[in-house]
Amino acid sequence: MPLPAEFHDIAKRVNNWGRWGAADEIGTLNLITDEIVRVAAGTVRSGRRIPLALPLRQDGVQTGMIPGRVNPLRTMVALNLEMFGPGTVATNDDIVTMGLQAATHWDGLAHVSHSGRIYNGRPAGTVTAHAGAAFSGIATMTTLTSRGVLLDVARARDLDRLPGGHAVTPGDLDAAEELARTTVRAGDIVLIRTGQMQVYLAGDPQGYAFPSPGLSLRTPEWFHARDVAAVANDTLTFEIFPPEVEDLWLPVHALDLVEMGMPQGQNWNLEALSQACAEAGRYEFLLDATPEPFVGAAGSPVAPVAVL
């Protein structure tokens, strides 16, 4: 079934193909300039650091709903191993098997395609089994550091968390921006808090996954108008799930990743950050959220740190 006209209309309005040249692979990350990062460093007031990643463990957020996206399974290849003989220094060493998008992660621009295309109009077939993404693999995003702004939608709406059926609208983003007392601007990394992470933290991964609040189909234009560099939130699916429009699956993914070339973050734990921002009365900070440089990957785990 072809994507509806409604989708294609928005797609045209937010499309960034060619904006940074035909060879570009990193989309909106081009918007993060040295000057923007210099200013971002200046937002640091106290030096307080808030980590935003979930612990990586086998009882992570994946429930089997997304086939193959397995929670991290870490095992030891050496355990108090006296490699050089009895009484010598002993080593512990481990390996892991995990879905790159299983935990707190970035979707890279090659994570989805629609109508046979990935970002910048490249054929979907440039992603292959043996090499992954020939273009826009996550390792092309060599750094992801900029000003971060928390749009605490749940707090702005005076809720602990948005209910499962809630599509975060441009109006919600406006309200949260007002609460944040800063204006979202070019090159920002915007973090959107729904509070949904509380469901997982309370021990209910199924309820966390589905049904989930998340971004509305109407938000990509909001991000595009402000030239945001990247957006992350505290849900498994990023966008509202099940979707707002029947049979229109993952439209926000397609608009953000394919049309705009803007990376999306999921499963970020924004609870402590929400508390810290509320206490400080400030919702901007320096954010480092550089993905692990897996060559050809569709996504990557990330251990983001906000410095307030």
Instruction: Restricting to residues 106-135, name those near its own copies by CB under 8 A.
Output: 110-114, 124-125, 127-130, 132-133
Least Å from the CB of residue 1 to its own copies: 5
Q: Which of 45, 165, 171, 225 binds its own copies (CB under 8 A)?
A: 45
Residue 183 binds its own copies (CB under 8 A) = no
Site for its own copies in 56-75 (CB under 8 A): 56-59, 64, 66-70, 72-75
Residue type, 52: L
Residue 186 binds its own copies (CB under 8 A) = no
Least Å from the CB of residue 246 to its own copies: 11
Order the strands of the 284-288 sheet from edge to edge. Answer: 49-51, 305-307, 284-288, 145-152, 189-193, 230-233, 264-266, 105-107, 299-301
Residue appearing with tokens 């993952």: 250
Torsion angles phi and psi, residue 264, rounded to 5: -120, 140
Site for its own copies in 244-263 (CB under 8 A): 247, 249-251, 253-254
Residue 21 binds its own copies (CB under 8 A) = no
Identify which of 159, 170, 241 has the alpha carbon closest to the alpha carbon of residue 198. 159
In sequence order, what are the residues at sequence separation of 6 or more whose Cβ sits closer than 8 angstroms to the Cβ of residue 265?
104, 105, 106, 107, 191, 230, 231, 232, 233, 238, 289, 302, 304
Site for its own copies in 75-94 (CB under 8 A): 75-81, 83-94
Residues in binding contact with its own copies, number by CB under 8 A: 102
Residue 147 binds its own copies (CB under 8 A) = no
Token pair of 49 as six digits: 């650091």
Least Å from the CB of residue 45 to its own copies: 7
Distance (Å, rounded) from C-alpha 47 to C-alpha 300? 27
Residue 299 binds its own copies (CB under 8 A) = yes
Residue 145 binds its own copies (CB under 8 A) = yes
Least Å from the CB of residue 174 to its own copies: 27
